[in-house]
Each structure stands twice: as C-alpha cells, then as structure tokens.
Structure 1
C-alpha cells in the first residue's frame, strides 16, 4: 500500500501535458533563469520540474548578491525522482557552473532518458566569455552538445564553442553558415544562434536538417537579462508539443521583442529584465490557437 501511494501520479498518461525537467540556477530577483522559464513554460501547458544548480538572491548584474552552490545536493535532490519512477518528456539545461554539474546532467540523461534535450550553453555575451568560463568548461560543453536535440547559443557562445574569434556584429551570411556547419559537427540536433543584429533588426540564424534560414524581428530596445531564457523556454515548450521549429523561433523572437518594447515604454531598469508577466496572456492565446 505504501509503495502504491509513493508511485501514485509519478507516471504520465499519453493524454497528459508534457513534463519537462529544468536544470538551471534560481535567481530570486532580476527576471532571469528559472524565475522566467517556469511561468512561461507553464503558460504553454508544459509541467516544469526545476533542478537548481545554484541559488542566488539576484543575478550578478547587481552590486550585491548572495550565492549558494547547490552542487553538493543535486544528486540527493534527484534520487527520489528516480526511486519513484518519475518520467520526463524533456530536459532543458541552462547555466552549469562546474565539471561536477556537467556529470550530473549526463547522469540525468542516462537515468531518465528524456525524448527531448534542449541545451542553452550559457558561457558569455557581448563578445566575451563570463569570468568563470575555463577551457575545461568549453570542452565539457562541447561533449554535452553531442546529446542535444536543440542548441541555443548566442553569437558569443557559438564562437567560443567553435574556437572562432568573437565579435558582435558584421557577420556575413556565409560566415554564419560556416559557423552553423562547425556547430553541427558537435551537435546533431537543431541549432539557432541568437544575439545577432542586422540593420535595426534582431536576427536569429537557424540550422535544421542541414539547411539554414534566418528570422528577423524588430530591435525594440537594448539587450536585457533573461531574454535568452525566455527565448529558449518557448522553444522547449513548443518542441514538446511537436511544433515546427522555424515557427517556434519566430514566436519566441517576436515575444521577446514585445517584452523588450514594453519594458522600454515602462522605463523598467535594464538589469531588472523584461516585464514578461504583462504579456503572458498573449502567449497563452497563441498556444491555445495551435
């Protein structure tokens, strides 16, 4: 009887909404990582099960921050899920801070065997790697990419992963195609490179089934924390609903642009991210119309 109660509700029927595990940090203030992804993915009718890599009072763009590394507890956190037989349709992996966390992600994939693995290789921005990124980190990320179904690097991360000199602008179509081809040798799945600009537009460069395309959205303001999390979250939810990849990139890019534009109008400080809460209703309407 006890075992029956322990396992009740852990298995999913085919008619239920998809279930997504999310390995990422939690920042209490600043609208980024899990605090952005959880409500957005939930609004798109996907169950989100967070696995924290670290817990922060706020993201590192603020002058003060409390940081708690959750690595020592991650395996203990995941053990009950395994013992209860909980299953997952997908895994979304964001920021990883250590070699041990890479190993834990590999173990999760081996143990739970989700059908979808979306990897957001958080490593840098604005042409520079983050201060914590080492050569070992890059090598571990390249290895993990080999298991990804969807990869969402920004242009800086795409350069770091292919040993390409970083720059933020001036990319030709030929150079971006070459970059995608090099990434595809490391990642067999779908790829979208974000963080590109063309004239007054944001550009997303897409690689799928050995062909490329691009989607341009209005550049409605300055880059803000959490927009990459927002973008990847929409792709993850749509993928679990088996929606077209290009259409998902378009939806995500347009929604990010809408949130940036609204945040600029409302004079939200850049380091506080985007007021996506105001526009979740629009995302819900789009999801229900499909």
Structure 2
C-alpha cells in the first residue's frame, strides 16, 4: 500500500491557507494525506488581527507515538514554523526521514514583496534556513530566497542575481529550487534549478492584478503531488502554475479576498 504524505504546516480556522488549502488539493490528486499542525491560527494573517496557538508540545508527543507505531511516509512537506524550538524539532525529524530516503519538500513561508509577513521576524529566517538545509525541493518566492541567502531584495533582479540566490540556497543544503514570483527583464516567472538534470529554467506567466493568501500553498501542493506521481520538475511546476492561475480566475469575484481561494469549489481545474 502507498505510504502517506505528511504535511507539516499551520491550520487556519477561518480561511483557505496552509493545511486547509493543501489537504483538499492533494487528496483530490489521489494521495494519502496526513498532517501535523505547527499551529492553530484563528484566521489568515492578512486581516491584521489573529490568534496563534503554538502546538510544539503536541508535535513532539505525536512524532514519538508515530515512531513507536512504525508509521512511515513517502514525503514530508514543511511550511509555516512558529519558533526556534519547533524549527529544530522539524529539522531533526526531516533529517532522520531523509536518511530513510523520504522526499523532503520545503516551502519557507516568511514574506513577499520585499518584506516579512505579519508576525514574522529575522528569527523566522534563521529557522527556515535550518529546514532548507535538508530539502530535496525548496520553493521560496523571491523575497524568501533573498532572505534565506542573506542578499538584498532587488526591484529589478537579473538572471545572474537569481542564479546566485539559488547557489546560496544549494550551499545551505537544498537540492532542487523553484523561486516563485520573480520578475526578470519585465517578465514574471518561476525560476528553477533541477538538481536531477543539473539544469536552470524559467517559466513565464502573466500576473493577475489580485492577491489571495494561500496561493503558494496550492502551488506547493500541486507541484509536490505531481513529483510524487513521477513527473519531472519542469512539468510539475508548469502544472502548479496552471492550476493556481485557473483557481485565481474562478475566484476573482470573491468579495473577501483575505479568506483565500475557495479550493473545494474549483478542484476540477486540476483534472484538465
């Protein structure tokens, strides 16, 4: 029987982000999805006011129980991390899993548009570097890649700048890297390094004039799901880009954008 995929991320009570977005997407792809919440969050952070319950103690005990029960996973995907203690716990776990041949996928959720998200700090950046160190696939946006690499955020980066960021992430320990939401020579694109092929490539897209929280989580879920189904990195990234765009298009009329994409209502876009 196929071993499950473990998603380590936060769970929002109000809004479709993190686990609330990833679980339905990956379940629709036919994957056996399990989850380990890093925090219970009252609502998406975009509202500016929120409550976060740190679940590190629960995580520690749960991982011990799972080890005693012999639970195994084919892949582990990490997202939002609450604290330094939690970052070390997740990193240690991912390192042990990597030694068993488990695929490690890291979305270092920290910020966008050149700045950190609400509630994030430079301590968060340090914590995410630990996780990226054991990632088979790291999927930062451009802001997060610059923070992880300790490089300045450039309004008009060139291809060489992005390759340098990817090089620094690889020095940290990441293998394949997909830098999302980067604008090169006036063109928005996802810029990637595929470790399996030792190849850089960029995939352009037309940026829609709207922002929904959770689109990065959907992107990661689709990309990881495709990789687990045997697709190569470029095909997996292309599929993730297509799905995210179609879901955004279907939700453009939503009055409350802070709630995120209403994922369950548009899962059919993944079938084409």
Are 2:56 and 1:68 equivalent residues in the alignment?
A: no
Residue of 79, 86, 91 corresponding to 2:64 = 79
1:109, distance to aligned residue in structure 2 (A): 2.4
- Find the counterpart in structure 1 of residue 144 from structure 2: 157
Counterpart secondary structure, 1:193 = strand
- Check the 8 A contact 2:226/2:236 in 1, yes or no: yes
Counterpart secondary structure, 1:255 = helix
Structure 1 56/188 Cα, relative in aligned 2: closer, same or farther at 3 Å? closer
Are 2:263 and 1:276 equivalent residues in the alignment?
A: yes
1:63, distance to aligned residue in structure 2 (A): 4.7
The worse-fitting range, judged by mean Cα deviation, of 103-112 and 19-28 is 103-112
Are 2:65 and 1:91 equivalent residues in the alignment?
A: no
Q: Matched residue pairs, number?
A: 268
- Check the 8 A contact 2:139/2:178 in 1, yes or no: yes
- Find the counterpart in structure 1 of residue 161 from structure 2: 175
Deviations 1:44-82 (A, max 9, x none): 111111101110121121254332111122111222211
- Find the counterpart in structure 1 of residue 36 from structure 2: 51
Question: Could you list the runs of 5+ residues in structure 2 that have no partner in the other structure?
Answer: none
In 2: Cα distance, 1:91 partner to 1:191 partner? 16
Question: Could you list the runs of 5+ residues in structure 1 that have no partner in the other structure?
Answer: 1-12
- Check the 8 A contact 1:55/1:67 in 2, yes or no: yes
- Find the counterpart in structure 2 of residue 237 from structure 1: 225
- Find the counterpart in structure 1 of residue 111 from structure 2: 124
1:141, distance to aligned residue in structure 2 (A): 2.3
Counterpart secondary structure, 2:222 = helix
Counterpart secondary structure, 2:47 = coil
The worse-fitting range, judged by mean Cα deviation, of 132-141 and 221-230 is 132-141
In 2: Cα distance, 1:199 partner to 1:33 partner? 31
TM-score of the superposition, structure 1-length normalised? 0.85
In 1: Cα distance, 2:69 partner to 2:134 partner? 25
In 2: Cα distance, 1:80 partner to 1:114 partner? 21
In 2: Cα distance, 1:114 partner to 1:95 partner? 23
Residue of 175, 192, 195 corresponding to 2:178 = 192
Residue of 113, 118, 137 corresponding to 2:124 = 137
In 1: Cα distance, 2:194 partner to 2:162 partner? 14
1:131, distance to aligned residue in structure 2 (A): 5.2
Structure 1 131/36 Cα, relative in aligned 2: closer, same or farther at 3 Å? closer
- Find the counterpart in structure 1 of residue 6 from structure 2: 21
Counterpart secondary structure, 2:124 = helix
1:262, distance to aligned residue in structure 2 (A): 1.6
Counterpart secondary structure, 1:51 = strand
Deviations 1:99-146 (A, max 9, x none): 111122133225544520001111211101235444443333223322
1:31, distance to aligned residue in structure 2 (A): 1.1
After superposition, the CA RMSD in angstroms is 2.0
In 1: Cα distance, 2:251 partner to 2:6 partner? 29
Structure (1 or 2) with the larger CA radius of gyration: 1
1:86, distance to aligned residue in structure 2 (A): 0.8
